């Protein structure tokens, strides 16, 4: 029997993978285990790309990234060579779950959900914006004066771990714990002191700690050393997260639906594909001069009159085509565009590692995976080695394979499946599901709270 719930709490753990939370460590996470053992759970299929901003945005709007016009952490703004710019809350052009609920008179409290910077007004509720906030001198709460309460309760709120890709491991570790402790404390403060209906918080620490420490715990990682001092860092942090959840659950009444979700998963990074090196080798890209040292690709470095395709770095790859009458110095005639895309797809799907083994690269045409492509989509979206390899944008490597990320230390890449747990409405038994998608979250919560689901939402209600 499905019981209608009056209130909902969503705990978001950025990048939490089902392999660790459900299968490897569940027995050591008693509070999460309690939710899993008495609720609906399963891996949650993320968006393509499986990247924080489009994934959370897609979750809270039940709209695909193409329709949102959000193709990653950064987007192309014009058909020129000026590079990409960061997305923010203004990129979202449809109502979020909290917009819908607060218009229905439900009081909503939003903490750290990407992308909510700059914070937008909520007609009935509060917001603390996300990791995109440049610093606390910017307005990071709605209403602005809420920051005094946030700062007082948390004793110095932390938006994100700065420099989580640098080598100062102790700093990363200490700041992550401090940030998480403050965020859960703030959430509990609101839970206890406000008359709320919907509260959603996203903890970034899980993502930061995985990127910084994955190679210390995963014995398949080339950098792994048995018995190293950081071997249990990720495990210990998940136990700590479980404690924080355990400290919060007793504050929630019987009438509260509880969700634990992540935006995507994580996996070991096998290496990087220097995509612009590959494009040079295969005659698609021409540089003005080949650099003597590793150099970020730039407008000045590319010979645009002889370049057909260039690529961007990141957890996944994006290829941009230099199309005649579209880009300023475009050379690909429009009638050859599709042929060239198919040629590249075939070649990239055949990408090999240094040993000559195929790495299972997946390539997507945006218009085939999205119902609509707002703003400027990449011409091709690429999962090198199905996300086991990241995209390296820089040149000067003299090889197409890289062991390390070129923009800072990183052991982990994103993975396509995150986690989903929903507790409190299925008569307290465990049900594992294999058909859950990130866009199902919002319609499901609206359904359980007795709110009509807008027609344009793409997800299904999880029954
Ligand atoms: Zn994320």
Rounded Cα distance, 198 and 217, in Å: 36
Rounded mean pLDDT, 32-49:
97
Distance 60 CA to ligand 1 centre (A): 14
Q: Is the pLDDT of residue 425 over 70?
A: yes
Give whole-number Cα distances, 146 to 139, 152, 306, in Å: 10, 10, 54
Distance 264 CA to ligand 1 centre (A): 6
Q: Is 306 helix (H, G, I), strand (E, B) or coil?
A: helix
- Residue 69 near residue 378 (C-beta atoms within 8 A): no
Rounded mean pLDDT, 285-300:
96
Distance 237 CA to ligand 1 centre (A): 17
Q: Is 181 helix (H, G, I), strand (E, B) or coil?
A: helix
Q: Is the pLDDT of residue 157 over 50?
A: yes
What is the location of CATH 3.40.720.10 in the chain?
7-268+414-448
196 — pLDDT class (breaks 50, 70, 90) = very high
Rounded mean pLDDT, 172-197:
97
Distance 405 CA to ligand 1 centre (A): 18
Rounded Cα distance, 14 and 247, in Å: 20
Q: Which pTM value belongs to this model? A: 0.96
Q: Is 358 helix (H, G, I), strand (E, B) or coil?
A: strand
Q: φ and ψ at 443, to 5 degrees?
A: -60, -35
Distance 207 CA to ligand 1 centre (A): 6
Q: Which chain residues have CB less than 5 Å from ligand 1, an ion? A: 14-15, 52, 263
* Residue 135: per-residue pLDDT: 95
Distance 288 CA to ligand 1 centre (A): 36
| pLDDT > 70 in the chain, percent | 98
- Superfamily of the domain at 7-268+414-448: Alkaline Phosphatase, subunit A (3.40.720.10)
Distance 335 CA to ligand 1 centre (A): 38
Q: What is the mean pLDDT of the chain?
A: 95
Distance 407 CA to ligand 1 centre (A): 18
Please give the angle made by the CA atoms of 90, 93 and 96, to the nearest 5 degrees.
Answer: 95
Distance 219 CA to ligand 1 centre (A): 23
403 — pLDDT class (breaks 50, 70, 90) = confident
Rounded Cα distance, 178 and 181, in Å: 5
The helix or strand, by DSSP H or E, that contains position 305, with its residue range, turns out to be: none
Distance 387 CA to ligand 1 centre (A): 14
Rounded mean pLDDT, 195-215:
96
* Residue 1: per-residue pLDDT: 41
Please give the angle made by the CA atoms of 14, 40 and 204, to the nearest 5 degrees.
Answer: 10
| pLDDT > 90 in the chain, percent | 91
Distance 343 CA to ligand 1 centre (A): 32
The helix or strand, by DSSP H or E, that contains position 3, with its residue range, turns out to be: none
* Residue 6: per-residue pLDDT: 86
For residue 41, give the nearest of 267, 262, 268, 266 by alpha carbon.
262
Rounded mean pLDDT, 44-60:
98
DSSP code for 21: I
Distance 92 CA to ligand 1 centre (A): 17
Please count the CA atoms within 13 angstroms of the CA of 350 that sit on its side-chain side. Answer: 6
Q: Is the pLDDT of residue 2 over 60?
A: no
Pairing of strands 436-437, 74-76: unpaired
The helix or strand, by DSSP H or E, that contains position 148, with its residue range, turns out to be: helix 146-154
Distance 122 CA to ligand 1 centre (A): 24
Rounded mean pLDDT, 245-264:
96
Rounded Cα distance, 386 and 414, in Å: 10
Distance 291 CA to ligand 1 centre (A): 33
- Residue 321 near residue 304 (C-beta atoms within 8 A): no
* Residue 411: per-residue pLDDT: 82
Rounded Cα distance, 149 and 186, in Å: 9
Rounded mean pLDDT, 205-229:
92
Rounded Cα distance, 36 and 11, in Å: 14
Q: Is 39 helix (H, G, I), strand (E, B) or coil?
A: strand
Rounded mean pLDDT, 206-230:
92
* Residue 4: per-residue pLDDT: 58
Rounded Cα distance, 198 and 206, in Å: 23
pLDDT in tens, 81-131: 998 999 999 999 999 999 999 999 999 999 999 999 999 999 999 999 999
426 — pLDDT class (breaks 50, 70, 90) = low
Rounded Cα distance, 32 and 37, in Å: 8
């Amino acid at each position: 029997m499905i019981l209608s719930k009056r209130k909902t709490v969503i705990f978001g753990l950025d990048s939490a993978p089902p392999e660790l939370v459900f299968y490897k460590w569940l027995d050591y996470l008693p509070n999460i285990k309690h939710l899993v053992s008495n609720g609906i759970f399963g891996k949650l299929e993320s968006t393509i790309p499986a990247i924080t901003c489009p994934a959370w945005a897609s979750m809270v709007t039940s709209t695909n990234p193409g329709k949102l016009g959000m193709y990653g952490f950064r987007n192309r703004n014009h058909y020129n060579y000026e590079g990409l710019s960061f997305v923010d809350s203004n990129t979202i052009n449809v109502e979020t779950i909290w917009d819908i609920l607060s218009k229905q008179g439900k009081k909503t409290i939003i903490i750290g959900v990407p992308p909510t910077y700059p914070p937008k007004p909520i007609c009935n509720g509060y917001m603390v914006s996300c990791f995109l906030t440049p610093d606390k001198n910017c307005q990071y709460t709605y209403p602005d004066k809420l920051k005094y309460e946030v700062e007082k309760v948390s004793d110095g709120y932390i938006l994100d771990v700065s420099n989580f890709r640098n080598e100062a491991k102790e700093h990363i570790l200490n700041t992550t714990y401090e940030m998480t402790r403050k965020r859960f404390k703030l959430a509990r403060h609101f839970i206890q002191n406000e008359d709320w209906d919907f509260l959603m918080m996203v903890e970034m620490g899980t993502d930061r700690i995985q990127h910084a420490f994955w190679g210390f715990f995963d014995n398949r990682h080339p950098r792994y050393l048995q018995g190293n001092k950081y071997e249990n860092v990720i495990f210990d942090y998940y136990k700590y997260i479980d404690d924080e959840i355990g400290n919060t659950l007793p504050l929630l009444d019987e009438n509260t639906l509880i969700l634990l979700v992540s935006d995507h998963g994580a996996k070991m990074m096998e290496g990087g594909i220097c995509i612009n090196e590959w494009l040079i080798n295969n005659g698609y890209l021409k540089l003005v001069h080949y650099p003597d040292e590793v150099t970020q690709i730039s407008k000045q470095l590319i010979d645009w009159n002889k370049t057909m395709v260039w690529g961007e770095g990141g957890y996944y790859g994006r290829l941009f085509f230099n199309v005649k009458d579209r880009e300023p110095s475009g050379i690909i005639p429009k009638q050859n565009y599709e042929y060239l895309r198919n040629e590249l797809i075939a070649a990239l799907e055949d990408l090999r590692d240094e040993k000559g083994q195929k790495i299972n690269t997946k390539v997507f045409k945006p218009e085939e995976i999205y119902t609509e492509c707002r703003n400027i989509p990449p011409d091709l979206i690429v999962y090198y080695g199905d996300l086991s390899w990241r995209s390296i944008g820089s040149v000067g490597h003299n090889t197409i394979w890289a062991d390390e990320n070129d923009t800072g230390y990183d052991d982990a890449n994103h993975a396509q499946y995150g986690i989903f747990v929903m507790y409190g409405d299925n008569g307290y038994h465990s049900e594992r599901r294999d058909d859950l998608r990130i866009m199902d979250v919002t319609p499901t919560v609206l359904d359980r709270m007795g709110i009509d689901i807008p027609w344009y939402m793409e997800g299904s209600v999880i029954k």
